[in-house]
Chains A and B, each alone.
Chain A
């Protein structure tokens, strides 16, 4: 990891200086969001922290260049998948803490990026979906898309949107994800992305694929425990290209970047995994916004 050796330093400094308290977005209505690029209020729901009311914003509802938009998809697991708080849904794993901490780091790592500081879940069948060309989805082994969601995601991707998949493990979950994507993009193969792919060098130079473990496996790994959530699983990064060779989907398989983002504030969670996860996170954002 040649470029940006400073990232671990930044992470360390943020962790130590905050004494375990990361600079999370302020949730108080007294603290308006940054309104340098105001316009449109993004979709907010699913137990998100309370947002300032529109009339309390200085000028307009917020419209920012970049939203970390988490896909709230219909899933198999634990009942009907859309109800955050209704026994939990697979799309909302690590939500919203992972999103918030990730965005607080992005604010420092990509200081030029006009990023919305809040978690931002979106529905695939929402017509406004295409206002947010960057989507993040995880636990897709439990994804069970409805026809309108299939149509919405297909249109999003073919129009030029970018989807990042994370945190699903093993052949069973892969099979489900593969089936779901076959519904969305029939005939578009899933291919391996080698380390020579530009997404690994867009900002940070990543020379090795790491298996980013969940929180407990991460801590156990310090004592020699496995980072995998399934036996013998190796981390893989795959992708789906459109017919003109443009990358539409990045698939982080057998790895859990989200947990590393979420637990970056835990001094027991190994720094190398957080560093890798943030480097991948930054690279994926910049790649998506320039390719």
Chain B
């Protein structure tokens, strides 16, 4: 509306005024013009001054001003005002047209029609006005883009089957293809839902450098409504079998405000969890926490699904499929205890049935006398606590009980710190009379690793600290998998509230920055609370503290039923969490866990030796086994960029699950193996966040000097490219003296003077 009005009044579109230069093209010099103006103005002024009649000074001023204004417009027109613009030379320049060929173009949200119909309507057939206008001015080159970018002979070849929308690479590719010709600009026709994962700014740099404007046409609605989408599933890629999982599922929606929907988790057709989720305001995401156990080993394809709701615009974004590698491995944890304690018995008893945990016990039963349990052979720990990195780092978790810091050599203390920070192991520090400050750990390397400060705020200073603590989960703890003793938050809180009190000898109440407390207890001494379970990441690993000394009472108390499994569950979950994510010597990763047939999968293996020093001269091979056929072997090469990192790639040829097993050797010795999985299937990524991304497209246009259009405004595009595009251009002058606005203004001034006179009785 504004643009139309502007064009009516000023003869040309606003864009011309923005892009062009203003000038007077009158053959007369400026001075003559001024003299003529003065010659006209001065007699007028004198006349008004002399022939006063009944007029007042104000009347004469107003009428004189109106008259002078009218004369000024005449003079302005006589000076021949002109707009000097630069426009491209017709048919001398090229324009690249990039059309989104991905699946999201089939979403029907353009007045009930598919987004792709805009392309069909405007770029196919001889009657297409937009195409004809562009073709009149430019030589057109078409491209299709989705996962890749290709030249397009005919727009009717578009299939809209691409699994991704990669805008940045598409722009770069088109610019490269048209590098040798005068290029006025690129037209990008898409919904803008870029999911390439690459930074768009980098792709725009060459376009900015070459001054190639990009004109973007956004298709589709910005916000699909009504629609529900399972936006994201926060789940580890790999867990031990039997692990308790608390999975965050982020659900976005529009049009279903306040409604309760059911979130279902399926493992290959078997429902393993379901939860009701109350949706909030439109556009506000909801986080649903689902609890379930990974009870079957192997790669599991889990589906997180919300049943299709009536009227939903897109159904395929109601389900997310994630790949979870459930490992049936036996992980070794070293538990070093400095004295005979019941905690030992009940801890070992709690995890004794867990086939995936091997808790190796080293217990000092008397001075210089050690007891070993669950060792692999007679050599293991025969000399007591490990003295070398190789010996210690073969464990994935380390539990330190009530043992004084002075027991360890300085090298051993450093080694324990390195176990966490460099090896990436899990360290659990238990409470006791020889633990924490009471064990002399202040100022040691282990104090650095701890997630807490060894303060004494809780102690009354009159002697050794002692507190009976009723343990409660913190806000963070309610959702943490390590302390899940109930099916939901209510059951979890009740489970902890009904456990008997235990005791602590270690006054721990201050978290380090970045640390998280999961369990705590009020001890009635000010507002500070006894920290019962806290952790933080430290280097590559994590450190956890549990400064209580008799969790075994959760098993033995007369208030707890003999069949109660809370003590067992707590310890099993805690130790599993301790070693969760702890790396092996060979770690294999892929750039994506889900790809389509024909898409390249990048493999990355990190190789370390037994002391967890990165190895650059290893022989690393990847064995890739698909759903059928023999395993494929790929040699992995050191990437040079990073120590110990090897890379390779492969292209899956059939849908299904691919297992990638990597073996690393150095000399005659094996450095270990690692494995991961990739799911090869048709991608549905295009249906998520499928609304038109106006901001992305506007940004592309703004940063390259182009403009953003919708199907409603796209009719101006051909002329805009002519005026603002690059390439071979010419300069042209456009007269402004005949703008309707000037005429209207002149008439207003003259008419205004007449009306004034009439009103004042000066005629």
CB pair A131–B556 under 8 Å, yes or no, is yes
Complexed CA–CA distance, A14 and B364 (Å): 24
Contact of A202 (CB < 8 Å), options: B371, B549, B555: B371
Using CB atoms, name the residue of chain B closest to A112: B339
Asked if B339 contacts A114 (CB within 8 A), the reply is yes
Which residues on B sit within 8 Å (CB–CB) of A285?
340
Complex A-B: 16 CB contacts under 8 Å: A37-B433, A38-B464, A59-B466, A112-B367, A114-B339, A130-B557, A133-B345, A133-B552, A155-B562, A159-B555, A159-B556, A160-B345, A203-B369, A203-B371, A289-B344, A290-B344
Q: Are B558 and A246 in contact (CB under 8 A)?
A: no
Task: Give bound CA distance, A39 to B366, whole Å.
Answer: 24
Asked if A39 contacts B503 (CB within 8 A), the reply is: yes
Which residue of chain A has the shortest Cβ distance to B558 in the bound complex?
A: A127
Residue of B nearest to A157 (CB): B562
**How far apart are A217's CB and chain B's nearest CB, in angstroms?**
31
Complex Cα distance A158/B549, Å? 22
B462 within 8 A of A: yes
Query: In whole angstroms, what is the CA distance A59 to B461 when docked?
Result: 11
Binary A-proximity of B159-194 (CB < 8 A = 1, otherwise 0): 000000000000000000000000000000000000
Beyond A36-B433, A290-B371: 16 further Cβ-contacts under 8 Å?
A35-B463, A38-B466, A39-B466, A63-B503, A110-B340, A112-B338, A112-B364, A114-B339, A129-B558, A130-B556, A155-B558, A160-B345, A160-B555, A286-B340, A289-B342, A290-B373
B356-400: CB near A (< 8 Å → 1, else 0) gives: 000001011111010101000000000000000000000000000
Interface residues of A in 126-164 (CB under 8 A from B): 127-131, 133, 155, 158-161
Query: Bound state CA distance, A203 and B369, in angstroms?
Result: 9
Identify B464's interface contact among A35, A114, A130, A155, CB under 8 A.
A35
Decide if B345 touches A112 in the complex (CB within 8 Å). no
Interface residues of B in 464-480 (CB under 8 A from A): 464, 466, 468
Which positions in B face A, CB cutoff 8 Å?
338-342, 344-346, 348-349, 352-353, 361, 363-367, 369, 371, 373, 433, 462-464, 466, 468, 503, 505, 549, 552-553, 555-558, 560, 562
The distance from the CB of B652 to the nearest CB of chain A, in whole angstroms, is 46
- Interface pair A65/B340, CB less than 8 Å apart: yes
- Min CB–CB distance B557 → chain A (angstroms): 6
Please name all residues of chain A whose beta carbon is closer than 8 Å to the beta carbon of B353 when the two chains form the complex: 244
Q: Is the CB of A244 within 8 A of B352?
A: yes
B558 contacts A130, CB within 8 Å?
A: yes
Q: Within 8 Å of chain B (Cβ to Cβ): is A28?
A: no
| A155 proximity list for chain B (CB < 8 A) | 558, 562
Asked if B468 and A39 sit within 8 Å, CB to CB, the answer is: yes
A39 to B504, CA, bound (A): 10
Question: Could you tell me the distance in whole angstroms from the C-beta of B311 to the nearest C-beta in chain A?
Answer: 56
Please name all residues of chain B whose beta carbon is closer than 8 Å to the beta carbon of A158 when the two chains form the complex. Answer: 562
Task: List residues of chain A with CB within 8 A of the CB of B371.
Answer: 202-203, 286, 290
Distance, CA A161 to CA B560, complexed state (A): 14
Contact B463 A161 (CB under 8 A): no
Give every chain A residue within 8 A of B562 (Cβ-Cβ).
Answer: 155, 158-159
Q: How far is the CB of A286 from chain B (nearest CB, A)?
A: 6
| 3 closest cross-chain pairs (CB), A and B | A112-B339, A127-B558, A130-B556
Q: Are B366 and A109 in contact (CB under 8 A)?
A: yes
Q: Does A44 count as interface, using CB distance less than 8 angstroms?
A: no
- A65 to B401 CA separation, bound complex (whole angstroms): 14
A58 CB-CB contact with B under 8 Å: yes
| C-alpha spacing A37/B361, complex, angstroms | 23
Does A113 make an interface contact (CB < 8 A)?
A: yes
